[in-house]
Structure 1
Amino acid sequence: MLDPVIAFFERIFHAIGRGVGVVVSVLLWPFVTVAGWFGERGFMIKAIVGGVLVIFLGLYGYFFWQSQVWTGFDPEYPSKREVIAATPGTELGGGKCAPSAMVAATADLIDFNVNENAWISSMILYKSGFFGIDWDHTPFFDNKAAFQRGVNQAIRRTTVEFVDTLGRVRGTSQVDGNLQDARGALQFDEYTWYFGVNPFGPKTPTPSFYRSAIADLETFNTRLANCEAIYDARADNLIQFIDRIAADVGSTSAILRDRSENYNGGWFDTRADDRFWFSYGQLYGYYGILKATRDDFRDVVVQRNLAQLWDEMDEQLSAALKIQPFIISNGNESGWIMPTHLATMGFYVLRFRSNLVEMRAILDR
């Protein structure tokens, strides 16, 4: 009675085995063919091809290491920063003034992105993709790149405020040269390598521009500490900065919502990870910058009784940065097998934005 059933399943498993064998043989065929060709070549050809292969493997090893190891990553880094106990520009005596915590925090974040870590987005193997497929469209090697771009988004937004409002008196005085240079450098394309085709020729890579911004910000802070620069920490400037951060994270929230609602493929959504880590990086950057903003605007915070609300915002950002799933899943919100990490991150982004809106309303009274 059982023999036909056993024979049926044997045929199924044999068919599966043959199918797997065909797939494996197809995948290995290019390598077997190349190995056969390589074995028939002379010494010089073998040496050249072998050298190219060693360089290729070395580049991929370096790329793998840099994309997987996050040097200096610490979600609680803002609490470990040295607090400057005075409003920027305040005279401290002896011809010295207080520097800006915001400027220092911004320079530190750039240093974290391009000096402590390699800038992934402009590396040649990241640009070349996975057999021509953009790494952002795969589940591999793109998390750190997306995170760095998220941090950079917060940095760019902050340097714009330095130039437009904070580094000049009521927006009417001359633009500070160091801040303007820093802003210009940070607006540079995030994907440029040493060579490009549009236009064709050698180029200055992205990290070099960002490193120059560090020098410009540090120079400005040195001038500020020597009472040779302006930093206008007024309530209306803080309102404008908060408005622009709220608009920035509001846009990110919309991107998360769209991906969560329209592409919920669970663990099989290959774009979910870069959406998640970009928003994570953005919150990571704003967490440190806003901690420093509180120091720079300490008088405004005290006068408008913002301490409790600011504490709540810090707690929410800290809670959001504790979400570090090994694999990002974009499941249906009503599903019970695959989690929905994008919706969770979107919830924290909206809570953060809600805090900003409430803080802005208090400042505007």
Structure 2
Amino acid sequence: MLDPVIAFFERIFHAIGRGIGMVISFILWPFVAVGRWFQGRTWLIKAPIILLLVLLIFGYGQFLWVAERWVNWNPDYPAQYEVNGGTVGEPVSASDPNSCVPSQIVQVTRDLIDFNVNQNTWIPSHPLSKAGLFGIEWKNTPFMDNKAAFQLGINTVIRRTTIELADRLGRVRGTSQINQNLQDAKQAMSYNEDAWWLTFSPPFIQPSTAERHRTAIEALDMFNAELADCKGQFDVRTDNLLQFLDRVTGDIGSTSDILRSRMEASDLGWFDTRADDRFWFTYGQLYAYYGILIATESDFSDIFDDRRIGSVWNVAREQLRQALDMTPFIISNGNEASWIMPSHLATMGFYLLRVRSNLVEMRDILDR
């Protein structure tokens, strides 16, 4: 009595097995065909192909290692930067008039560059990062682009800070000559973010992005040495702090719009391959601004105390740190009402706007 039922299910499973076999055969067919072609070639042809395959295996192995290994990542890194306890560029004490206070903003900026290109490999310039996965850009895949996006987020903050240092903070009221070291750092950080030392256009050999960023480290070190020797200028005025906060809030507002655009473009949850690079770019930006803003509190400590913005800044600092605790293993860009696939972009955008609102409040207090 059960024989027809059993026979029915046997036919179904047999059909499923045949279907799976056909799919596997279709996937393996190109490799089988290439293998047969390879077996019929001479060693004059086999040797270069084997060498190329070995180079690809080792190349992608090395790329996998540097792209997934995050060296010295530490959300609490700003704790090492103590408050200067004096005015930047002014003598540390009356008893030592030839030793002045350096800038913590310059120091943090320098250390973030070092973190990006010396402590870690600069991924956007890696040839296999530029080549993508068999022609597909890594940002269109769910892996291998997170560290690159994180580094690019940090880099946007460094670029913004070096511009402000050269154009406003490192000169007196915008009328003095631009400091050459700060100008060199600004130009170095404006270099292409994905430059490798070989290029297909003349002159075919060029400095890599990492090399140019290392020159920015040297320039920033020399500027801070000038300040320490009481030979440099650093203009710690209220309007300079106000202008800098304006730039920071503008950057954060732009990033929140990027997150919003991605949320509107897709709600595929864990299957949105572009959500992860948006998330980690934002994370890198907040990671860098956390240190830069704590350094700003140190360099402009007199203004923070005089204008009583410390309490507002303490709230912003706590919110920045809370945002850096958000490190999900898989980034999901689901519908905001979803209970299965959350929207990590919406959560990160919420942290962004909280920080931005506090920075705007600080700016309003300074502008009164």
TM-score range, shorter chain: over 0.9
Gaps (5+ residues) in structure 2?
none
Is 1:36–2:49 an aligned residue pair? no
CA distance in 1, matches of 2:17, 2:39: 31
Segment of structure 1 superposing worse, 191-200 or 246-255: 191-200
Aligned residue in 2 for 1:87: 87
CA distance in 1, matches of 2:265, 2:244: 32
Aligned residue type for 1:145 = A
Aligned residue in 2 for 1:56: 56
CA distance in 2, matches of 1:351, 1:219: 36
Gaps (5+ residues) in structure 1?
none
Q: Could you say if the C-alpha distance between residues 52 and 230 of structure 1 is closer, same or farther in structure 2, counting changes exceeding 3 Å?
A: same
Q: 1:40 deviation in Å?
A: 3.2
Aligned residue in 1 for 2:124: 121
- Answer whether contact 2:267 2:335 (CA < 8 A) is retained: yes
Q: 1:130 deviation in Å?
A: 1.2
Aligned residue type for 1:180 = Q
Aligned residue type for 2:181 = N
Q: Could you say if the C-alpha distance between residues 125 and 224 of structure 1 is closer, same or farther in structure 2, counting changes exceeding 3 Å?
A: same
Aligned residue type for 1:275 = R
Aligned residue in 1 for 2:147: 144
Aligned residue in 2 for 1:330: 333
1:254 to 253, 257, 280: 257
Aligned-pair RMSD on alpha carbons?
1.5
CA distance in 1, matches of 2:185, 2:363: 27
CA distance in 2, matches of 1:336, 1:262: 20
Is 1:168–2:171 an aligned residue pair? yes
CA distance in 1, matches of 2:13, 2:63: 40
Aligned residue in 2 for 1:212: 215
Q: 1:20 deviation in Å?
A: 2.5
CA distance in 2, matches of 1:140, 1:298: 42
Q: Could you say if the C-alpha distance between residues 41 and 344 of structure 1 is closer, same or farther in structure 2, counting changes exceeding 3 Å?
A: same
1:7-18 equivalences under 5 Å are 7-18=7-18
Is 1:294–2:307 an aligned residue pair? no
Aligned residue type for 2:241 = L
CA distance in 1, matches of 2:16, 2:175: 75
Q: 1:32 deviation in Å?
A: 2.5
Segment of structure 1 superposing worse, 50-59 or 233-242: 50-59
Is 1:231–2:234 an aligned residue pair? yes
1:314 to 317, 329, 334: 317
CA distance in 2, matches of 1:340, 1:291: 29
Q: Could you say if the C-alpha distance between residues 50 and 359 of structure 1 is closer, same or farther in structure 2, counting changes exceeding 3 Å?
A: same
Is 1:104–2:107 an aligned residue pair? yes
Q: 1:214 deviation in Å?
A: 0.6
- Answer whether contact 2:82 2:298 (CA < 8 A) is retained: no
CA distance in 2, matches of 1:9, 1:255: 51
Q: 1:2 deviation in Å?
A: 4.6
Segment of structure 1 superposing worse, 325-334 or 9-18: 9-18
Q: 1:96 deviation in Å?
A: 1.1
CA distance in 2, matches of 1:5, 1:334: 44
CA distance in 1, matches of 2:83, 2:272: 42
Aligned residue in 2 for 1:21: 21
CA distance in 2, matches of 1:199, 1:269: 38
- Answer whether contact 2:245 2:359 (CA < 8 A) is retained: yes
CA distance in 1, matches of 2:259, 2:305: 35
Aligned residue in 2 for 1:182: 185
Aligned residue type for 1:51 = L
Aligned residue type for 1:13 = F
Q: Could you say if the C-alpha distance between residues 128 and 307 of structure 1 is closer, same or farther in structure 2, counting changes exceeding 3 Å?
A: same
Segment of structure 1 superposing worse, 261-270 or 323-332: 261-270
- Answer whether contact 1:87 1:295 (CA < 8 A) is retained: no
Could you list the per-position Cα deviations for residues 284-338 of structure 1 after superposition, in whole angstroms to 9, with x for gaps in the alignment? 0000111111100000000011111111111101100000010100000011110
Secondary structure of 1:160 counterpart: helix
Could you list the per-position Cα deviations for residues 80-121 of structure 1 after superposition, in whole angstroms to 9, with x for gaps in the alignment? 334432221011225111100000000000000011111111
- Answer whether contact 2:81 2:104 (CA < 8 A) is retained: no
Aligned residue in 1 for 2:273: 270
CA distance in 2, matches of 1:199, 1:7: 71
Aligned residue type for 1:205 = S
CA distance in 2, matches of 1:131, 1:277: 23
Q: Could you say if the C-alpha distance between residues 178 and 312 of structure 1 is closer, same or farther in structure 2, counting changes exceeding 3 Å?
A: same
Identity over aligned pairs, percent: 57
Q: 1:173 deviation in Å?
A: 0.6
